[in-house]
Amino acid sequence: MNAQQQLKEDIVRICGMLHRKNYLAATDGNVSVRLGDRVLITPSGVHKGYMAAYQVITVDLAGRVLNGEGSPTSEIRMHLLTYKLRPDVAAVVHAHLPYATACTLAGIDLLEPILPEVVITLGGIPTAPYATPGTEEVPEAIRDLIQEYDAILLSRHGAMTVGQDVMDAYNKMEKLEHTARVVLAARLQGPVPPLPAAEVEKLRRLGEKYKGGG
């Protein structure tokens, strides 16, 4: 199996995992992987939980279809902008997480440092302003945030995560949804105090070491 075929299989596997975790429904969501000057990306209008590798579409970095039937996801511009701005990123996952989306509807901000694991691995989880799905508004809404963060809530539209590979991006998505569940449960009991500033600084230093492989 060549590298491109393996990455297509990886995308299908991750889509299945997202569907089983209820992170997307039916044709929602999209996943992509960068391979040199090409991007392998999920198609529009296909149920991601039952997708096959042959349905993954190959495009160039401008979004022109090089291989595959149908059209790439309508959110392709968000993926392409991410790869343009973040040369360290090799995969993008966008899912419609129930609890994370609920946070955006309730006006709950996940950027505050509450859980130590989130500070270490993600730094924080900001919320991008609302943008009409499938339009140029979406990449513009995340333009500034994606340059600093690996996980972003999309107002009323789920979340996106990025990673060194598609599994890394998926892991961040799982951590994001777990965080949303914890914060929502805690908020039912009252205000949730953030971690002290001194502890946040310690955790950020650990995060730098974590990302550096130390």
User: Which positions are catalytic?
Assistant: 75
First to last CA, the chain: 33
Alpha-carbon span 178 to 185, nearest angstrom: 11
The candidate with the shortest Cα–Cα distance to 23, out of 49, 45, 43, is 49
- Sign of the torsion formed by the C-alpha atoms of 18, 77, 9 and 52: positive
One-letter amino acid for residue 207 of the chain: G
Contact 82, 88 (CB under 8 A): no
Contact 91, 56 (CB under 8 A): no
Residue 9 region, left (φ>0) first, then alpha (ψ -120 to 50), else beta? alpha
Burial class (CB in 10 A: 0-12, 13-18, 19+), 74: middle
One-letter amino acid for residue 150 of the chain: D
Strand duo 91-95 + 65-67: pairing = unpaired
